[in-house]
Amino acid sequence: MWSRTVSSLVQNIRRRLSTAVRRRIEDEGDWFYSSEWWGSESASNTILRSISDKGNGVVSVVAYPSSRPSEVYWPATERWLQKRFEETHPGQQQKDRFMILGYQWRVLRFNDNTRQSTAKILAAYQESEPGSVCIMQQPHCLAVPYLKSMVSVGLATIASCNFDLTNAVNGKKNMRILCIGHGGGSLPLFLASKIQGATIHIVEIDPLVISASIHAMGFPAFSVMTQSGERAFSKPDTTDEVLWKGIHERLLLYESDAEKFILNSNSVYDMIFIDAYDGDDIFPRTLWDPNSPFLKALGNQLHPEHGTVVVNLHSDSELLNPDGSIPSVLDHILPMGKYVSQVGRAYKDVIVGSAISCGGKDSGLGFTVSVPWVCNTSLVVCRGFGTKSWNYSKDMILNTLISKSLEVERVLNLPFSCLQYIKRGFILVD
């Protein structure tokens, strides 16, 4: 979930329009295309709308037209789907072709005004069954800047903690990731598609959000888990096999309260991503109270040597009063901004402080970075960085992260640069 103000939006649009003609846009999720997924109501189409009983109010998915990929590239995608069918069904003759209907942006909203997440979907059908349409979320497309920030700083950090990211990406090393808060599912889907060795557990409290992500935003249905810990579907259907070719088998989506899930988990995770806001745009206090069972249990489930936690937080630091307080007119718009420093200290104190009891070294650290174009902050807390954290200067930490970010871009073949998400507003957590 992301937050912003109207004034900052106007300034950003002007800045982006002034530079758009001077550079070639290669990333389909670039902020340049935000006017498409922000959309106008006249061009929108409501795909799903229902009322949540988990505190998220009215949950809806709205579709907007996408300009890319242009129609000239659709035949290549149709051939790609045909090849995928042949790979997943060797020896079985395909009777007809897959045909592309087009691409759309799908936006998950809470209460009609909070844009919870955005994804690009591909719609296709088989020639003999034009009424049978399947949709596939485009895993390479991260449309919202804070997600790119979380990926950039998170992976650069764990790589700086001597985790062998290259072998994990190539499938030669296992990597266990937990995502708390699902939304449309673009973050776990991106990670699973880029890191072949990753197994990703996803926790989402609202079954309506899970249903929306699958039926309206093209997330793999085979990922859904039952309360007993089994797959909801005994085997993937033909569509899942063709579209995902194994990616769906490394995604495990649980309907559960985050605290309950963590307290009952025996897993040890290399990375944990947290992006959990309710219908009122609030990050629940139970997820950051230093005395909460959740945060203490989270520390116990994190790898003691290189475990890294990344948290998405709303931030209005550029809009604060001189004394650091939030202007009253903005308090109801960005209610979490005033808690950013408290959340950072809580996570660092608990996560780093508990590393020793987990068998790790007292060498962890925490930092925040500002997300470009939107009022969000990425908080990172890690165990590692090789030596005592107090022997590191801010410049040394930042230079290490920048160096590792270049490795992350290369190894994952990212369509965007990590640097802009690492350097902006870098602050160490005390």
More confident residue, 392 or 192: 192
**Tokens 């937080």 found at:** 313
Highest-pLDDT range among 87-96, 123-132, 291-300:
291-300
Closest CA to 225 of 250, 255, 198: 255
**Per-residue pLDDT at 356:** 53
Closest CA to 185 of 275, 125, 52: 275
**6: pLDDT strictly greater than 60:** no
Amino acid found at 162: N
Tell me the CB-side half-sphere exposure of residue 145, using CA atoms within 13 A: 24
**Per-residue pLDDT at 123:** 97
| 3-class DSSP string for the chain | CCCCCHHHHHHHHHHHHHHHCCCCCCCCCCHHHHHHHHCCHHHCEEEEEEECCCCCCEEEEEEEECCCCCHHHHHHHHHHHHHHHHHHCCCCCCCCCEEEEEEEEEEEEECCCEEEEEEEEEEEEECCEEEEEEEEECCCCCCCHHHHHHHHHHHHHHHHCCCCHHHHHCCCCCEEEEEECCCCCHHHHHHHHHCCCEEEEEEECCHHHHHHHHHCCCCCHHHEECCCCCECCCCCCHHHHHHHCCHHHHEEEEECCHHHHHHCCCCCECEEEECCCCCCCCCCHHHCCCCCHHHHHHHHCECCCCCEEEEEEECCHHHCCCCCCCCHHHHCCCCCHHHHHHHHHHHHHHHHHCCCCCCCCCCCEEEEEECCCCCEEEEEEECCCCCCHHHCCHHHHHHHHHHHHHHHHHHHCCCCCCHHHHHCCCEECC
**278: pLDDT strictly greater than 80:** no
**Per-residue pLDDT at 167:** 98
Whether 177 and 273 have beta carbons less than 8 Å apart is answered as: yes
**12: pLDDT strictly greater than 80:** no
Q: Where in the chain is the domain with CATH 3.40.50.150?
A: 145-428
Tell me the CB-side half-sphere exposure of residue 171, using CA atoms within 13 A: 7
Residue 321's contacts (CB-CB under 8 Å, 6 or more residues apart) are 327
The bridge status of strand 427-428 relative to strand 58-65 is unpaired
**Per-residue pLDDT at 383:** 94
**391: pLDDT strictly greater than 80:** no
CATH class of the region 145-428:
alpha beta
**Per-residue pLDDT at 205:** 96
pLDDT band with cut points at 50, 70 and 90 for residue 245: confident
**Per-residue pLDDT at 117:** 93
Choose the weakest-confidence range: 101-115, 218-232, 275-289.
275-289
**387: pLDDT strictly greater than 80:** no
Tell me the CB-side half-sphere exposure of residue 65, using CA atoms within 13 A: 7
pLDDT tens per residue, range 102-160 = 999 999 999 988 888 999 999 999 888 878 899 999 999 999 999 999 999 999 999 99
Closest CA to 29 of 142, 106, 112: 142
Choose the weakest-confidence range: 1-10, 82-91, 277-286, 404-413.
1-10
**Per-residue pLDDT at 43:** 85
**410: pLDDT strictly greater than 60:** yes
In this structure, the chain runs to a length of: 430
**320: pLDDT strictly greater than 90:** no
pTM score, whole prediction:
0.88
Q: How many angstroms separate the CA atoms of 141 and 20, rounded?
A: 19
**Tokens 């470009």 found at:** 372
Angle of helix 186-194 versus helix 145-160 axis, rounded to 10: 40
Q: How many angstroms separate the CA atoms of 62 and 40, rounded?
A: 11
**326: pLDDT strictly greater than 80:** no
Strand ranges across the sheet with 114-126: 45-51, 58-65, 98-110, 114-126, 129-137
Distances (CA, A) of 102 to 5, 13, 28, 71, 137: 32, 27, 15, 8, 12
Q: How many angstroms separate the CA atoms of 329 and 33, rounded?
A: 30
Give the pair of three-digit tokens for residue 92: 């079985």
Choose the weakest-confidence range: 111-115, 183-187, 207-211.
111-115
**17: pLDDT strictly greater than 60:** no
Q: What is the mean pLDDT of the chain?
A: 86
